[in-house]
Chain A
Amino acid sequence: GAVVSQHPSWVICKSGTSVKIECRSLDFQATTMFWYRQFPKQSLMLMATSNEGSKATYEQGVEKDKFLINHASLTLSTLTVTSAHPEDSSFYICSARDGYNPAGELFFGEGSRLTVL
């Protein structure tokens, strides 16, 4: 089946630095990708919708200047956490669906665990 891959799986950084997380669709073209955030023992919260070639759409309460999303190609979306702080520590998960099958399955990446010291 279709695969979505995230990199890195784990990242530890110092407070104030920026971290980039990549989300790749490996065998399909994803015109739309979604970024979720999951705090420990909590559910997934949608952060933003990433659209290839255009600006991302952010959910209410999500700071677009802090969580920069770039969807420069049909197989890659990146989430950059700028000036990270300990409260940004979380599990970030992306998802994507085949742009040629808009009613098809939504595939999830393995997730990226960010720890900010």
Chain B
Amino acid sequence: AQSVTQLGSHVSVSEGALVLLRCNYSSSVPPYLFWYVQYPNQGLQLLLKYTSAATLVKGINGFEAEFKKSETSFHLTKPSAHMSDAAEYFCAVSVGAGGTSYGKLTFGQGTILTVHP
């Protein structure tokens, strides 16, 4: 079984400041890890994913995340926050590729990012 813990349900930053959203995972097998963004009353949009290739993953909108096996972490960062980044962010884990298991995601609790002008 796998699980995800997002540290901090709310993160507030100033426009232009560094964004750091924390995610730790637990998995008995090598995980696949994802970050999604959700705007109010909308579905989820994939920001980036780790699938056992490069440990530093670059995503859309300037976000990136680094897989650290020793720390069981997959923190999301962005060097300079923009007002449009304000949303809720979910970290998710799944196991394996192929078959139905790939799509069976376990989500973290979510982190609401607020960006102040």
When the two chains form their complex, are residues B42 and A110 in contact, meaning their CB atoms are under 8 A apart? Answer: yes
When the two chains form their complex, are residues A6 and B104 in contact, meaning their CB atoms are under 8 A apart? Answer: no
Number of interface residues of B (CB under 8 A): 23
- Give min CB distance, B37 to chain A, whole Å: 11
Q: Mark B94-106, 1 if CB is under 8 A from A, else 0.
A: 0001111011111
> Is A51's CB within 8 Å of the partner chain B?
yes
When the two chains form their complex, are residues A102 and B102 in contact, meaning their CB atoms are under 8 A apart? Answer: yes
When the two chains form their complex, are residues B41 and A111 in contact, meaning their CB atoms are under 8 A apart? Answer: yes
When the two chains form their complex, are residues B43 and A106 in contact, meaning their CB atoms are under 8 A apart? Answer: no
Measured in the bound complex, the distance between the Cα atoms of B49 and A3 in whole Å is 18
* Stretch from B11-19, B76-84, B107-115 that touches the partner: B107-115
When the two chains form their complex, are residues A32 and B103 in contact, meaning their CB atoms are under 8 A apart? Answer: yes
Measured in the bound complex, the distance between the Cα atoms of B46 and A32 in whole Å is 18
Enumerate A82-102 residues with CB–CB distance to B below 8 Å: 91, 93, 95-97, 102
When the two chains form their complex, are residues B102 and A103 in contact, meaning their CB atoms are under 8 A apart? Answer: yes
Measured in the bound complex, the distance between the Cα atoms of B103 and A97 in whole Å is 7
When the two chains form their complex, are residues A95 and B109 in contact, meaning their CB atoms are under 8 A apart? Answer: no
When the two chains form their complex, are residues A102 and B109 in contact, meaning their CB atoms are under 8 A apart? Answer: no
- Give min CB distance, A1 to chain B, whole Å: 9
> Is B44's CB within 8 Å of the partner chain A?
yes
Residues of B whose CB lies within 8 Å of any CB of A are 36, 41-46, 49, 51, 90, 97-100, 102-110
